[in-house]
A and B are shown apart, each in its own frame.
Chain A
Amino acid sequence: MTYIIYNSDHTIKTFMDYIADVPLAPGETFALTGQAFEEYAARFVLSCKGTSCNTVYAHVGDPALEIDVSAPGQETVAVNVNGEPQTVPLTDGQGSFTLATDTPCTYLIGPADRQTFCAAGSGALLVVILSGENP
């Protein structure tokens, strides 16, 4: 079983194995799911080159970055990139999209539907495009 903590706006804040040690902040609520912790964490996973969670650094002019999305059981999933949602088609729960590297910027990526998927853990990814060429 996994406990899900919701923010006051009903978006998912975090999830964990047990809840007895969590004092909820005003407005926060929790729910219990029958899924195991690892199973729940795998519901929405963002990764780049096989690694999730680690901040991805690239340089201007590098090849476009491919971001992989995993959402088992879904045919599509909406991903938020810097607040802009985009729909990613999935095959067997797996899909991908690319990020441009033509200007220095930061991409903050997470699920568009944060009431269904958690924008923490493996469900969030930061990509930083640095100015200058890759040394």
Chain B
Amino acid sequence: MTYPLSTEVTAGQPTAADQYNNLRKDALTLGNEAADSLNMSQFLNRHFEFLDIQYLATNRLRVPYSNAQPPTLMINGYLLQAAANVDLPANQFSGPAATWYIFAVRSAGSTTFTLMVNTSAAEATDQRLIGECTWNGSSVTVVKCYFTPIVVIPVADYDSGWFAVTGGTLYTKAHAMGQVPRMVFLYWCNVANGAGDTYLVTVVNTTSPSTNTVSPMYFDGTNINIKTGAGSGNSTLMAVTVQSASGYYRVLAWK
């Protein structure tokens, strides 16, 4: 498609219907037919940027402001941006323990927004639901912003499964990732299927060539190698509460 559809007019030139309509179409749908595109207001209706909610003493909430990343959102078709921290007034919570919902609120004559809380999650006109918090009857405890990205650890690119180990032995696993893993975790358990308490193995003890605490694992673009310690009760696991010279290992690795 061609964008913009409209063209400049010269002074004194009458604005033709086509020119006006192209100009309107450019503004509303980036030059597209209405059947093929939402208009800009619809498209940006749930827009938000740089929005976070923090606890503010005592029993208050704050949307923090940053000059470089000002909290921005659209409410009821209005483009709003904070110019300073947006704080919930004091004494807004009361009653028994409950989940309270946090709203950004638009007011006529303002290009920023205010905050309000309610035990109902329903948005009224000029309100936008942005988070929730837990009121335990006397204090605000957990505060959650719905727009905070949630980071989930991806499934491992390599998973060895559990395998039996003992001291003084080299175990090699070909991870087939085609590159040196960026992150590798080694787990130990005393139950074959990993159903027991699981420990992260970082060091083991060895008495050969000398008594030392050593890292048992090394890896490259092809293999993950685990060389268990020898001659000690901590040759496969050296933890505060458990030591072992046998057990089961599992390796997880990520690209």
Residues on A close to B: CB < 8 A? 13-18, 21-23, 25, 37-38, 41-42, 51-55, 57, 106, 108, 110, 118-126, 128
Contacts and interface: CB of A to CB of B under 8 A. Distances in A.
A121 B165 contact: yes
A54 B166 contact: no
B161 A18 contact: yes
A123 B193 contact: no
Given A55-B245, A121-B166, A126-B233, 19 more contacts: A16-B160, A16-B161, A21-B175, A53-B246, A54-B190, A54-B242, A55-B234, A57-B233, A119-B166, A120-B169, A121-B164, A121-B247, A122-B246, A122-B247, A123-B164, A125-B245, A125-B246, A126-B167, A126-B235
Nearest to B188: A53
B187 interface: no
Contact of A126 (B160, B165, B246): B246
A86 to B, nearest CB: 19
Interface in B195-248: 223, 233-235, 242-248
Given A22-B173, A54-B190, A57-B233, A14 B245 contact: no
Rank and list the top 4 A-B pairs by shortest CB-CB distance, nearest first.
A121-B164, A53-B190, A55-B233, A41-B192
B171 interface: yes
B244 A121 contact: no
A128 B247 CA distance: 17
B176 A21 contact: yes
A23 B174 contact: yes
Interface of B: 158, 160-167, 169-176, 190, 192-193, 223, 233-235, 242-248
B67 to A, nearest CB: 51
Given A121-B165, A124-B166, A14 B171 contact: yes
Nearest to A42: B192
Contacts of B223: 23
B163, B193, B233, B247: residue with the most chain A Cβ atoms closer than 10 Å: B163
B233 A106 contact: yes
B169 A122 contact: no
A121 B228 CA distance: 13
A128 B231 CA distance: 11
Contact of B174 (A21, A106, A123): A21
Given A38-B192, A53-B244, A121-B247, A128 B165 contact: no
A38 B248 CA distance: 11
A126 B245 contact: yes
B172 A23 contact: yes
28 contacts: A13-B169, A14-B163, A14-B169, A15-B163, A17-B161, A18-B161, A21-B173, A22-B173, A23-B223, A25-B172, A37-B162, A38-B192, A41-B164, A53-B190, A54-B190, A55-B243, A57-B233, A106-B233, A120-B164, A120-B166, A121-B247, A122-B190, A123-B246, A124-B166, A124-B245, A124-B246, A126-B233, A126-B244
Given A22-B174, A121-B164, A126-B233, A37 B193 contact: yes
A120 B233 contact: no
Nearest to A13: B169
Contact of A53 (B161, B170, B176, B247): B247
Contact of A55 (B160, B163, B244): B244
B248 to A, nearest CB: 6
A126 B169 CA distance: 15
A60 B81 CA distance: 74
